[in-house]
Amino acid sequence: MEICFISYAWDKMEPDIDSTLLLAHECASRGHQVYMLTSDNLTIRDSKTMGFCEKLDLNYQISEDPEIFFEEAKFSSETKVLGDMDVIFMRDDPPLDPIVLNFLDSIEDDVFLINSIGGLREANNKIYTASYYDPEGEFIPATYVSKNKNYLRQIIEEHDGDKMIMKPLNGFGGKGVIVIEKNAMQNVNSLLDFYIHGQESNKSNYVIIQDYVEGAEKGDVRVIMLHDQPLGAIRRVPAKGEARSNISSGGTAEHYVLNEKEIELCKRIGAKLVEDGIYFSGLDLIGGKLIEVNVLSPGGLVEINWNLETPIQSLVVDYLEERVAEKK
């Protein structure tokens, strides 16, 4: 099997916690040919979508330790027709560049894409979660998306609770997530101006205002989904004095077992994900409610694997092998 990871550069990985590295290591350990490709190295030649790839050398004993594998890995440059691959695995950092999907449109019928082009287009931003139909508010906290400052301020003023969450639509890794408190309304105008306009007066950005879910101060739960099933979870606990629980923001990981309500949530969301062509994703839950769906490069595999008999990357590559066999 030939598999191409469209990802951040190899030397940008953090080998002790990097989920993409685990996936690439599992593929290489099974003898599958791995290619690494950054999104700015796509091209079209002779009407074919191609990539200036880095081909992993498999002519040596692959270490069982992913960190040693990372240090020993050798690559050679090769221009590849992407339609000749078996799998394209999207592992780039958000926000998603829509031009990348335009390149891949032409090969969607030829390779197995995880995740699908349509799924990535629909689900790569936080509006996807907000648009889920949940009129009773059972699984999705009330969410408002706008770049109209007066409207957003009105939402905050009329909200029944004392707190709300504000974050940029295109943020990732917890960047820009803050807690707004009713007793500090004098700061809201300034915050909204900054989030909507940033430092560019001629450009405006969408902002998300979301109900504050009780228990958020204790952290969130990251669930890794494969097809429509949860593979495992961790609780991410924020550092002292920090509202964000992302590991990249200083959060720590703890063992976590999903409860019945969370399993039911994963079941409902999983069916929708597969329908939309999302086969590998990360769900962020707080208090049994879905906060975000991560479809580009969900992390947490290293930490979740601490509590599993079969590591997630093994289950993922099993799945890829099955899907490729079906396609062929």
pLDDT, one tens digit per residue, over 106-130 is 999 999 999 999 999 988 877 888 7
Q: According to DSSP H, which parts of the chain are helical? A: 19-29, 66-72, 98-104, 117-123, 127-130, 149-158, 188-197, 260-275, 301-305, 312-327
Q: How far apart are CA 281 and CA 217, in angstroms?
A: 24
pLDDT digits (tens, 9 = 90+) for 11-34: 999 999 999 999 999 999 999 999
**What's the pLDDT at 38?**
97
241 band by pLDDT with thresholds 50, 70 and 90 = low
Domain boundaries, the chain: 2-118+317-327, 142-211, 217-294
**What's the pLDDT at 30?**
98
**What's the pLDDT at 14?**
94
Weakest-pLDDT range from 49-63, 188-202, 301-315: 188-202
pLDDT digits (tens, 9 = 90+) for 68-104: 999 999 999 999 999 999 999 999 988 788 999 999 9
* Cα–Cα nearest to 172, from 126, 240, 120, 129: 126
Q: Is the pLDDT of residue 7 over 90?
A: yes
Q: Hey, what CATH class is 142-211 in?
A: alpha beta
Q: Is the pLDDT of residue 171 over 60?
A: yes
Q: What is the mean pLDDT of the chain?
A: 90
pLDDT digits (tens, 9 = 90+) for 253-266: 898 999 999 999 99
Mean pLDDT value across residues 243-256: 70
Q: How far apart are CA 59 and CA 27, in angstroms?
A: 14
Q: Is the pLDDT of residue 201 over 70?
A: no
**What's the pLDDT at 217?**
81
Q: How far apart are CA 78 and CA 121, in angstroms?
A: 28
Mean pLDDT value across residues 124-143: 80
Residue with tokens 């090769």: 78
Q: Are 295 and 274 in contact (CB under 8 A)?
A: no
243 band by pLDDT with thresholds 50, 70 and 90 = low
**What's the pLDDT at 95?**
79
Which DSSP category does 239 fall into? P
Identity of the highest mean pLDDT range in 60-74, 207-221, 293-307: 60-74
Residue-wise over 194-204: b if at least 16 C-beta within 10 A, else e?
ebbeeeeeeee
238 band by pLDDT with thresholds 50, 70 and 90 = confident
Q: Say yes or no: do domains 2-118+317-327 and 217-294 share a fold.
A: no
Instruction: Output the pTM of the full model.
Output: 0.87
Residue-wise over 93-116: b if at least 16 C-beta within 10 A, else e?
ebebeeebbebbeebbebbbbbbb
Q: Is the pLDDT of residue 154 over 90?
A: yes
Q: Hey, what CATH class is 217-294 in?
A: alpha beta
Q: Which fold has domain 2-118+317-327?
A: Rossmann fold (3.40.50)
* Cα–Cα nearest to 24, from 8, 40, 45, 43: 8
Q: How far apart are CA 91 and CA 4, in angstroms?
A: 10
